Every structure is written in C-alpha cells, then in structure tokens.
Amino acid sequence: MRTTVTLDPDVAAKIKAEMKRTGKSFKEVLNALVRKGTTVVPAEPRKPFKVRPIASGEKPGFAWDNISELLGQLDQLDRKR
C-alpha cells in the first residue's frame, strides 16, 4: 500500500540513523518500526495484592483519632523515660 506520511523531524532523524546503522532501506526500517510499535505483548498475570494487618499494640488512654493529642501523650511518655 502506498501512502503519504508527514514525519516529525525527530522521527525522521531516528529512521535515518537506523538506516545508516543497519544499511536497510527507508521502507524496511519504517515497516520494522511500525510492526514493533503495534505488536501487543500480553502482560503476565500478577498475584493479587493482599494487605496483612498487624496488631498496633494499642495502649489504654491514647486518643488515636486526634493526632495532636496523641503526639502530646507520646511526648509525655518520652519525657518520663
């Protein structure tokens, strides 16, 4: 099939460099690059991500829902040590 395509300057430069490197024609290089770019490689299935909870070691009297209060309580514990 014949068609007219306008290549961006950077793409044309890469094709010319590949022609020079391989000694192949413009048509051969362009077709090889288009084939490579349109080939879809199926991804390998991944294992599902699982969250493994750990015990937080909650201490009685700590305010876990108020970060400012929690930091103050932790600061007091550090001073006692």
DSSP labels, 4-71:
--PPPHHHHHHHHHHHHHH---HHHHHHHHHHHHHPPPPPPPPPPP--------PPTT--TT-HHHHH
pTM of the model: 0.49
Note whether residue 79 is domain-resident.
no
pLDDT per position as a tens digit, 7-38: 999 999 999 999 999 999 999 999 999 999 99
User: Range of 17's domain?
Assistant: 9-38
Note whether residue 51 is domain-resident.
no
Note whether residue 73 is domain-resident.
no
Note whether residue 64 is domain-resident.
no
Note whether residue 18 is domain-resident.
yes
Note whether residue 58 is domain-resident.
no
Domain count, the chain: 1
What's the pLDDT score for residue 63? 63
